[in-house]
Amino acid sequence: MTLSTKPSLGVAMVGYGFMGAAHSQGWRVAPRFFDLQAEPVMHTIVGRDAARVEAAREKFGWRYAQTDWRRVVDDPEIDVVDICSPGASHVEIAIAALDAGKHVLCEKPLANTVEEAERMVVAAERAAAAGVRSMVGFSYRRVPAIGFARGLVQEGRLGRIRQVRAQYLQDWLTDENGPMTWRLDKEQAGSGSLGDIGAHAIDLVEHLTGSSLTGVSGTVETFVTERPLLGETVGLSGTASQERGTVTVDDAAWFTSRLAGGTADGAIGAFEATRYATGRKNALRIELSGSLGAIAFDLEAMNELQFYDATAPAGEQGFTRIIVTEPEHPYMANWWPTGHAIGYEHAFSHEVKDLVDAITGGTAPEPSFADGLHIQRVLDAVQQSAAHNSSWTAVS
């Protein structure tokens, strides 16, 4: 066996649930398919429950398991801390890791409040002066069809963008007797559909257009206010107890917006985020309408992009379905032959690739903590607007 001569990057990951599994896949696969200038080492996985984190360690391929995240922050063998835990924990872990000289990848949304996100940005800027990198995990930026769409926008193929429509539709909460999870607790999650999935829609619109949301008018709604608490057997049989917990976050959010700067300067936008869209499993839909053309994307068909060229002869106009699997498309040259689709998990390999490239190349990765703070401010503005009868609210 040939040993790698590349420098290593010791990685610790905090959290072992859904995102922990996805991030583990990214760290495991990225160095096998991309020529990274440093070799990520899946060193330690962290979680509060010793038995469960040990099971996750074995399943996902980490070397060690730990129940105290402070131990990995202090460990000289750890170079990168990947935060996949609930939002309430992000601020403390990220600041401690950055101050200890560790690069940080933090899942979205960056924090639970604007104030927490501001503190994280200050720590990130302080760490950046010493060459320490930080990035927010908006993984859908790394879907090749999104990268291809962004290129079309930047090339001017859509002209001036006048309208944007963005929806993130899921249905996993439609059963009112489904159990409570941490994502339904404001203390842990910060917000519900708005922050959990709406943040992705906001980030993608701004990423694609180079524009920023400057003001919003929003409404949020909680349809089911109480849900069964899971019994002690959760993780084995998932038995629900007779006790019920209070849902303290939004189930759905709608808002309109205005954008400034970039290719959508002066445009209006319509956004929706819900986990009650019956029949929709993971439908993240973005449509940009411009003076010269339009694009439409749906994550449930993630290897496709719909493109409308309004400059074509009238008799030839119509949305064209482009299969985004060519080596010319972002990231695709490192995967399979033309026409062979990739999946949800590949975005996390691309995320790892871009972060490692930034670390080894001495560049600032995107999206930055400052980008994450801006998204947090948009989320906060929507919540403020909803609390004041959908009044127009500026994004600070």
Ordered by where they begin, the domains of the chain are 8-139 (3.40.50.720), 144-387 (3.30.360.10)
Tens digit of pLDDT for each residue in 95-151?
999 999 999 999 999 999 999 999 999 999 999 999 999 999 999 999 999 999 999
Classify the C-alpha dihedral 74-77-81-85 as positive or negative.
negative
Mean local confidence (pLDDT), 292-304: 98
**pLDDT > 90 fraction of the chain, expressed in percent and rounded:** 95
The residues that bridge with 230 in the sheet, in sequence order, are 240
Residues composing the chain: 396
Model confidence pTM above 0.75 = yes
CA distance 376 to 380: 6
CA distance 130 to 344: 34
Mean local confidence (pLDDT), 139-166: 98
Please say whether the beta carbons of 215 and 257 come within 8 A. yes
Alpha helices (runs of H) in the chain, residue ranges in sequence order? 18-33, 50-60, 69-73, 90-99, 114-128, 144-154, 186-189, 193, 199-209, 346-361, 369-387
CA distance 146 to 304: 9
**pLDDT > 70 fraction of the chain, expressed in percent and rounded:** 96
User: What is the model's pLDDT at position 240?
Assistant: 53
The answer to whether residue 70 scores a pLDDT higher than 70 is yes
Count of C-beta atoms within a 10 Å radius of residue 237: 9
3-class secondary-structure state, position 299: helix
- Closest to 240 measured CA to CA, from 173, 178, 188, 182: 178
Neighbouring residues of 122: CB distance < 8 A, sequence distance ≥ 6: none
CA-derived radius of gyration, the chain: 21
Largest CA distance in the chain: 66
Q: pLDDT category, 231, cuts 50, 70, 90?
A: low
User: What is the model's pLDDT at position 235?
Assistant: 38
Tens digit of pLDDT for each residue in 313-339?
999 999 999 999 999 999 999 999 999
| One-letter amino acid for residue 63 of the chain | R
CA distance 108 to 378: 14
The answer to whether residue 232 scores a pLDDT higher than 50 is no
Token reading at 380: 């906060």
Peptide bond into 367 cis (omega under 30): yes
User: What is the model's pLDDT at position 5?
Assistant: 85
CA distance 263 to 83: 33
Element (H, E) at 167: strand 161-169
The answer to whether residue 373 scores a pLDDT higher than 50 is yes
User: What is the model's pLDDT at position 154?
Assistant: 98
Q: What does DSSP say about strands 134-137 and 103-107: parallel, antiparallel, or unpaired? A: parallel
User: What is the model's pLDDT at position 237?
Assistant: 41
307-311 — which CB contacts under 8 Å span 24+ positions?
Answer: 307/152, 307/157, 309/157, 310/159
Tens digit of pLDDT for each residue in 238-297?
555 579 999 999 999 999 999 999 999 999 999 999 999 999 999 999 999 999 999 999
Mean local confidence (pLDDT), 212-238: 80
**Between the CA of residue 269 and those of 139, 195, 359, what are the distances in Å?**
22, 18, 35
The answer to whether residue 84 scores a pLDDT higher than 50 is yes
Mean local confidence (pLDDT), 37-43: 98
